[in-house]
Amino acid sequence: MKALRRIALLALIISFLTINLCYGQNTAEQNWIKGVEYAAQGKFKEAKGEFENALKADPYYDPAKEALEVIEDVVDQKIKSKTAIHLFKGKSYREKAEWDEAIAEYNIALEINPKFANAYNDRGIAYRWKGQYDQAISDHNKALEINPRYVGAYISRGITYGVKGQHDQAISDFSKAIEIDPRYADAYNNRGIAYYKRGQFDQAISDFSKAIEINPRYVRAYLNRGLAYDKKGQYERAIADYSKAIEINPRHAKAYNNRGLAYDNKGQFDQAISDYNKAIEINPRHAKAYNNRGISYFFKKEYEKAWDDVHKAQSLGHQVHPGFLKALRKASGREK
């Protein structure tokens, strides 16, 4: 009976571990950010070089492809250079989470060129980050009205629908993107996320697998498929996917955190702690890794270390689950 109670407690507290679906930054994105800064200054030649470097690092990095298309339109005089400069200024502000400034720049671009689909789509993304989802969808709709085959706008609108919890609409948009471009890895990854959030883990795994088939170095898809395997209790497969993500990007803190979670689910707490340590080494402000390491220490009956991690996670703004706090108080014989 005691063994059964311990198993039930393990299952309960393991459910308090925190994980991440992944949209993380990579080397290609870093090149893209540099290119955006150049383009915002009207230095299109330098920007073009950075966007090309982004595609060398990741041939499937679609923001760089789209940015290059904008620069080509400037060269071909399909759009004015001033229009492009304000678009890229908006992107620059967006990367800094300065949403109002970004929207103001997109507004200027649209004043110059009211048929500029890219500016509507980007402004919609900024509205989404501000939590103004209806305005975001309206802008994505306008972008698609101008260009019905604008894959990026279907992706952006699908993400907004997903944030609103409207996963059917999200799946419809990602499916439309795939219909237009069957080799668009991000569309499969995002549709997989929508299936994951609906609890349809087999469909999610299928889509993440397709994204990986298109791009074998797609870290985000490995991480997300690992989470889906985790949900199905297939921890060895989850660990294999997280390990592949780490092989591709050894500095990916979320990959270590999520692999730690899989080890915790297997009851391999030392391995889990080792992974949480690595996640924290890479990102000392990784609140979820502190939370999760505290849970591992709890099961090793190292309660002082568990409390230290709880306090650190809380100091970083993480809401530690009340059920775990209750169990830790009872086991350690202390209040806080």
At 153-174, the pLDDT tens digits run 999 999 999 999 999 999 999 9
- Angle formed at CA 100 by CA 95 and CA 103, multiple of 5 degrees: 80
At 205-251, the pLDDT tens digits run 999 999 999 999 999 999 999 999 999 999 999 999 999 999 999 99
Nearest CA-CA partner of 238 in 249, 226, 246, 247: 226
C-alpha atoms less than 13 angstroms from C-alpha of 300 in its C-beta half-sphere: 18
Taking residues 105-118, what's their average pLDDT? 97
Phi, psi at 246, each rounded to 5°:
-70, -35
Taking residues 119-128, what's their average pLDDT? 98
C-alpha atoms less than 13 angstroms from C-alpha of 214 in its C-beta half-sphere: 21
Mean pLDDT over each residue of the chain, to the nearest integer: 93
Other beta carbons within 10 Å of 272: 27
Say what the pLDDT of residue 334 is.
87
Q: Are residues 4 and 293 in contact, defined by beta-carbon separation less than 8 angstroms?
A: no
- Residue 200 in this model has a pLDDT that exceeds 90: yes
The answer for residues whose C-beta is within 8 angstroms of residue 306's C-beta and 6 or more apart is 294, 295, 297, 298, 328, 332
At 258-287, the pLDDT tens digits run 999 999 999 999 999 999 999 999 999 999
At 30-89, the pLDDT tens digits run 999 999 999 999 999 999 999 999 999 889 888 999 999 999 999 999 999 999 999 999
- Residue 297 in this model has a pLDDT that exceeds 50: yes
Q: Is the pTM of this model over 0.85?
A: yes
Residue 60, CA distances (Å) to 27, 41, 65, 97, 212 in order = 12, 26, 8, 25, 11
CA dihedral 51, 54, 55, 61 (to 10 degrees): -100
- Residue 21 in this model has a pLDDT that exceeds 90: no
Write down the CATH number for the domain with range 1-16+252-336: 1.25.40.10
Taking residues 291-307, what's their average pLDDT? 97
- Residue 98 in this model has a pLDDT that exceeds 60: yes
Q: Are residues 187 and 177 in contact, defined by beta-carbon separation less than 8 angstroms?
A: yes
- Residue 1 in this model has a pLDDT that exceeds 60: no
| Cα distance between residue 27 and residue 257, in whole Å | 20
Say what the pLDDT of residue 3 is.
39
